[in-house]
Amino acid sequence: MSYRPTAKTRARQKAQHESLLKTAVSIVARDGFHGLTISRLARETGIATGTVYKYFDSKAHLCAEVFKRATEREVDMVRAASFPEQPAPCRQRLTDAVTIFAERAILGGRLAYALIAEPVAPAVEQERLIYRKAYAGIFEQLIEEGVKTDEFPSQSPSVSAAALVGILAEVLVAPLGRGDAATDQSLLIGPIRKFCLRAIAFRETA
């Protein structure tokens, strides 16, 4: 035996992996998953096509990692807003969570569209579902708590949570994929927030 991967070697490996992932995310942010091809990724990273496969088993795996990388932070932010250190009423937390999601989606622009609404291959769609469920899970927990403490009216937390995800995706992100992105997205935040609040926190006026 005469060769052992050493710390330095493994560091380079990791760095390359990282570099590829970074480039991949940047491609997706520019042209969506549609624009992410192995050869382009290789080209932009400055390596050969085949080399990519030394770092990722398949395109599906690559896409999964890209998705994870780009979405995890978002989910964390929404979770943090939903369950803050400082205790706060559910209503406030719901508002904050929706706002955070919206602001970050608008900031994300093309990338947000790619992650949430762009038509993608079934394999990538599978990844997307994981994160939709993550969002839904957070909302569900929050709504459940609100119902329990009687801050929110009786409702099905799972349905309401899924509905929230649908609202945010359709109202905020889907338009990015169309021509009508002319509208200033930030103008949508207020109305969406109100809509969600009505839907989840309002009781019928007597």
Partner DNA sequence: AATAGATGTGAATCATGGTTCACTTCTTTA
Partner DNA sequence: TAAAGAAGTGAACCATGATTCACATCTATT
- Given a contact cutoff of 8 angstroms between Cβ atoms, the answer to whether 152 and 143 are in contact is yes
Alpha helix stretches (DSSP H) within the chain: 7-31, 38-45, 49-52, 59-82, 90-108, 110-116, 122-148, 157-167, 186-201
Site stretch for a second copy (CB under 8 A), options 38-46, 57-65, 87-95, 122-130? 122-130
- The answer to whether 198 contacts DNA (rule: CB under 7 A) is no
Nearest approach, Cβ of residue 20 and DNA (Å): 10
Q: Distance between CA atoms of 46 and 174, rounded to whole angstroms? A: 33
- The answer to whether 206 contacts a second copy (rule: CB under 8 A) is yes
Q: Which among a second copy, DNA, none contacts residue 174 (Cβ within 5 to 8 A by kind)?
A: a second copy
Q: Which among a second copy, DNA, none contacts residue 204 (Cβ within 5 to 8 A by kind)?
A: a second copy
Question: How many chain residues bind DNA (CB under 7 A)?
Answer: 25
The interface with a second copy within residues 132-151 (CB under 8 A) comprises 132
Can you tell me whether residue 55 is helix, strand or coil? Answer: coil
The candidate with the shortest Cα–Cα distance to 172, out of 69, 99, 66, is 99
Report how far Cα 127 is from the mean position of its chain's Cα atoms. 10
The interface with a second copy within residues 146-185 (CB under 8 A) comprises 153, 155-156, 159-160, 162-163, 165-171, 174-175, 177-178
Q: Distance between CA atoms of 98 and 120, rounded to whole angstroms? A: 25
The interface with DNA within residues 37-66 (CB under 7 A) comprises 37-39, 47-51, 53-55, 58-60
The candidate with the shortest Cα–Cα distance to 166, out of 132, 195, 189, is 132
Site stretch for a second copy (CB under 8 A), options 43-51, 81-89, 103-111, 113-121? 113-121
Beta-carbon count within 10 A of 119 CB? 10
Q: What b-and-e string marks burial along 71-100, b requiring 16 or more CB atoms within 10 Å of the CB?
A: beebbeebbebbeeeeeeebeebbbbbbbb
Footprint on this chain of a second copy (rule: CB under 8 A): 34, 119-122, 124-125, 129, 132, 153, 155-156, 159-160, 162-163, 165-171, 174-175, 177-178, 188, 191-192, 194-196, 198-200, 202-206
Residues that bind DNA (CB under 7 A): 1-6, 8-9, 13, 16, 36-39, 47-51, 53-55, 58-60
